[in-house]
Amino acid sequence: MRSVLNLRRGELVEVRSLDEILATLDDRARFEALPFMPEMLPFIGRRFRVAGRADSTCDRVERKGLRTMTDAVHLEDVRCDGASHDGCEAACLIYWKEAWLKRGGADTRQPESGDPDSSVQAAIVSADARSIFTSTRASDEMGTGELRYRCQATEALDYTSPRAAGQKHSYWQDVRCGNVRWHEAVRATLVERFNTFQQGRGGTQYPPLGGSGTTTPTAALDLRPGEFVQVRTRDEIFQTLDAEGHNRGLSFDREMLMYCGGTYQVLKRVTRIIDEPTGRMIPMKRDCIILDGVVCTSRYHGPCRRAIYPFWREIWLTRAPATAPAARTNGEGSFVGFVLTSALNMMARRLLGRAQRAHLPKSSR
């Protein structure tokens, strides 16, 4: 069964019944190579808003930029809880093929079939649904005995396609489907072109990242879910990073700058996640925190809608009262100001170079 709904952000949809979904799956519990995971069963029969189309998605397996896919969306706050993947705590936003959904109409009430427990139990006793559960483990082809996992994140190269060489993304298609507003598309296009120019000439990209420490400090706050924290300022965080922008192996990304100075609740401590390139379960050796509502908005990595939770070191945070102001310090800085400063610096270097050459003997020019 193939269903193309051309869904837009904000539309109300209902997840189809178990039988309807099973009719779309192959013997590996996939439709168009996208796995239907056991963690998706509790959402069967329930209604959700579309969070955005998944036409473009970031590549965290080979890390070669954006990839494309068709007829898939993300639903608001519908994330994998890792229950069938030995408790992976990455909390990834789930991909949904439009064939697994139908428009929900104007009625926002949950239908009778929306009992999550009944959907899971029905799948457990169904022989046709057995592959949904068995497909979460990779076969041990090398005979090493090492357990590896399969999920939507690890299998991304199977159901997405690479962009053609030199192909640039047009943000206007994201405007049409409601993924981004027009002014966000304009800004993203300008930033992308500026950073491409800067990369070509070896200049600093926007927003700039810092870090020059040879040793990176740590802090032990022993944060717990529900506690309020304030993200430190950009400069304070940069002082904890090495020259590669890491603190004890954990990177601080440009997408995290927008949250500097803000106050948020701790969602959870992360102790284990599945490594997307290998499928191995990785224990987190050091403090690793997820903040509620703090996600990657892909302002600087193309129009990906995965809304991945960034991981935070405790040294990047301070405890804060629930009444603390939520104002941010704008860790990104002004884009216009950064462009003007870069242009002035470039002009100054050129003028200096000309002046130096003018004072050289003619035989040395």
d(CA 16, CA 53): 18
pLDDT tens, 170-182? 677 888 888 888 8
**Helices and strands in the chain: count of H runs, count of E runs:** 8, 18
pLDDT of residue 52: 95
Q: Do residues 228 and 326 touch, judged by C-beta distance below 8 A?
A: no
pLDDT of residue 112: 46
Residue 238 has pLDDT above 50, yes or no: yes
pLDDT tens, 300-320? 887 889 999 999 999 999 999
Mean pLDDT of 349-356: 70
Bridge pairing between strands 12-15 and 47-53: antiparallel
Residue 324 has pLDDT above 70, yes or no: no
d(CA 129, CA 125): 8
pLDDT of residue 302: 79
Q: Which fold has domain 207-319?
A: SH3 type barrels. (2.30.30)
> Where are the chain's structural domains?
12-162, 207-319, 335-360
Burial (CB < 10 A; 0-12, 13-18, 19+), residue 179, is: buried
pLDDT bucket at 113, cuts 50 / 70 / 90: very low
- Whether omega before 111 lies within 30 degrees of 0, making that bond cis, reads no
Higher pLDDT, 39 or 108: 39
